[in-house]
Amino acid sequence: MTHDGTEYLTTNVSAHLRMWAARTPARVAVRGSDGSEVSFGELERRVDAVAHGLLAMGFVPGDRACLFVPASAELILLTHAMLRAGIQPVLIDPGMGRKSLLSCVRRTAPRGLIGVPRAHLARALFPGAFRSVELSVIVGARFFGRAQPLARLERFGYRQGPFDFATGGVESAEDEAAVLFTSGSTGPPKGVLYRHRNFLAQLTHLRRLLELEAGEVDVACFPLFALFDNALGMTSVFPDMDFSHPARCDPAKIVAAIESSRASTTFGSPAIWKRVAPWMQERDRRFSSLRRIAIAGAPVPPALIEELLELLGDGGDVVTPYGATEALPVSSIRGSELAGELRARIEGGYGTCVGRPAPGIEVALIEIGDEPISAWSESLRVPTGSPGEVCVRGDVVTTEYLGEDGATRAAKIPSADGLWHRMGDIGRLDLTGRLWLLGRKSHRIVTDHGTLFPLPTENIISTMEGVRRAALVGRGKRGHEEPVLVIEPEPRSDRAVLEARLHSHRTDLAPLAEVRGVRFKRSFPVDVRHNAKIRREDLKRWVESKPR
């Protein structure tokens, strides 16, 4: 048996960390927002120690434990230690709100709780949601009830030496690895069950799709993506920001993190770059080392991509991967591809282009429907160019939602050649194989005269001067909805001028002919994870509360 973990590279994603620690022990693995640094060698030793400590305190392989730790070296440390020990981290976005968070905990029934003092306080205040918890670890404090301090586990584990992967009980890449909850931006949050093969597949596809290389430095504006950095031999740098509210980030601090670390890549929500781009432009600045900006979480306006390209040096690019918690990545498109004709088609109302499928990922568009599909049939496919529900198949596709058989049946289609996942998006494929999104299936507007999809209209209206965002929602019951256009104006824009501009375009912009009303709202409700996806159900209720 070797000690660098290479025999487990196809079984446990944490083995990749050990491999890089053996190759480059002195390289910085994680840099915190406070400037503190942890090398690959030190991180690997700490991961081994914590894995030993977790099993010694009573956890057994197969247990689940909620992990509530902010973006930091401790988040990376604990995630790898748990994966290595065969303990499944349950990751729930605390920004989703107390009611939803407690519901997620209750439905998961974790045996453990690992987190900062606030997480343990929540357990004390709401014991019913945490009634399944038997073991607890506190991070960042010495005492809290019966919780074991993380530092104590580390001290014990250091005396045990290197951790044997076989001890963690992960025997196959098919073994369950973690539970990641969706953000709940388009419905109740659901726990997505990940297997080790899903993480390993994501590692491979993200490396190829984004052309990531060992030794790169990533400013991780989305903490979950940082979990892949060290397994790829890359350095994670956490900027000084509130990760629960990316739309409130201080652009100066994002830029400072990138420049001071000489970062080559960064990953974050569109909400971040909508703040960073104008800040850089106002100061006539460009990035000195950044080669790649990856943006995900919501459709990205071509105008923003073009602005960001101007901030990068020669050879730099903006990448917008498409996917979901249940299947990621599915496809990707580069900013350099979006110039010219593609941008004109997006802003002209054809949809939002998310590129061609990633290698090894199959995309199919099927007839739009809301009922479960018990078995795959090629007859489900719609003709090229026609709108259909986006389905994907490949090794990144997860198999189920934890404890939610109905949701699993609604989202998965069994087939002889592998499971299909229904993305919940409506799109179409063009003749070159590019995928164009038209909107979420649940957001389609079914009127007395037909079905409308929101993104094409919104992409047209959002290019108009004075419009920050636009959303097309349906007023009334499905089947008899009236399309209503809601506009979030730019600050200090003149509403009367906007209304006149919209009225003047009603004849030359075909989508406006379908609209039965226009509403203005100072700010749109958005999702808690990326602060970029519009919460259309909330907008629909707001529209229906207003007099006609």
Whole-prediction pTM value? 0.94
Written as tens digits, the pLDDT of the chain (548 aa) is 445 667 889 999 999 999 999 999 999 999 999 999 999 999 999 999 999 999 999 999 999 999 999 999 999 999 999 999 999 999 999 888 899 999 999 999 999 999 999 999 999 999 999 999 999 999 997 778 889 999 999 999 999 999 998 888 888 999 999 999 998 777 789 999 999 999 999 999 999 999 999 999 999 999 988 999 999 999 999 999 999 899 999 999 999 999 999 999 999 999 999 999 999 999 999 999 999 999 998 889 999 999 999 999 899 999 999 999 999 999 999 999 987 789 999 999 999 999 999 999 999 999 999 999 999 999 999 999 999 999 999 999 999 999 999 999 999 999 999 999 999 999 999 999 999 999 999 999 999 989 999 999 999 999 999 999 999 999 999 899 999 999 999 988 888 888 888 877 766 666 677 888 899 999 999 888 788 889 999 999 999 998 87
Pairwise CA distance, residues 442 & 462, whole Å? 21
**DSSP secondary structure letters along 407-443:** HHHHHEE--TT--EEEEEEEEEE-TTS-EEEEEEGGG
360-443: CATH topology: Luciferase; domain 3 (2.30.38)
DSSP string, 334-393: EGGGSTTHHHHHHHTTS-EEEEEEPTT-EEEEE---SS--SS--GGGBPPTTS-EEEEEE
Name residue 363's beta-bridge partners. 392
The H or E element containing residue 331 is strand 327-334
Q: DSSP string of 83-97?
A: HHHT-EEEE--GGG-
What is the architecture of the domain spanning 6-198?
Answer: 3-Layer(aba) Sandwich (3.40)
Q: Given this structure, which CATH class describes domain 445-545?
A: alpha beta
3-state secondary structure of 457: helix
Q: Residue ranges of the domains in the chain?
A: 6-198, 360-443, 445-545
